[in-house]
Amino acid sequence: MTDASGTPDASGTPDASGTPDVPGASDERRTDIGTPTPDELREQVERTRDELGQTIEALAGKADVKAQAKEKTAQVADRIHEKAAHTAQLVHDATPDPVLDAAGRVASTARANRKPLLVAGAALLVVLLVIRGRGHGRGCR
């Protein structure tokens, strides 16, 4: 309760500042309640250092363009490999068994006879180049 002047009586009810009128309470005690201890301050400084370190690492990671490019390249390569494997599986599933068997036999024969296959491929390449060269000669005249 307050008297006519607005000051609280001895009942402990709050005055205009919102603090209770407690006998023996001093201004010094009220400020000590919100002041952290040295240990709390050390913990707060350590937490702040950790947060700052994490922030610096994050900023350094964002600034490292070379690492970002490598990561993006690896992600794209993984997606390409996945799609290629999926497409190969679809082709394998859609190809009839007799065609798969014949392709397997041709591949086995090619692996067993690499030299003749390479010679035949080189000869075919030479023939194609000669034909192409003669075709250009006629168009220039």
Kindly write down the DSSP assignment for every residue of the chain, as one continuous string.
-B-TTS-B-TT--B-TTS-B--TT--HHHHHHHHSPPHHHHHHHHHHHHHHHHHHHHHHHHHH-HHHHHHHHHHHHHHHHHHHHHHHHHHHHHHS-HHHHHHHHHHHHHHHHTHHHHHHHHHHHHHHHHHHHHHHHHHHH-
CB 23 within 8 A of CB 16: no
Confidence tier at 138 by pLDDT (50, 70, 90): low
End-to-end CA separation in angstroms for the chain: 119
- Distance CA(28)–CA(83), nearest Å, equals 72
Reading the block at residue 68, the tokens are 């970002």
The string of pLDDT tens digits covering residues 69-94 is 999 999 999 999 999 999 999 998 98
* Cα atoms in the 13 Å half-sphere on the side-chain side of 46: 6
Q: What is the per-residue pLDDT for 139?
A: 53
pTM, two decimals, is: 0.34
- Residue 96 one-letter amino acid: P
The string of pLDDT tens digits covering residues 97-120 is 888 889 888 888 888 888 888 898
- Residue 137 one-letter amino acid: G
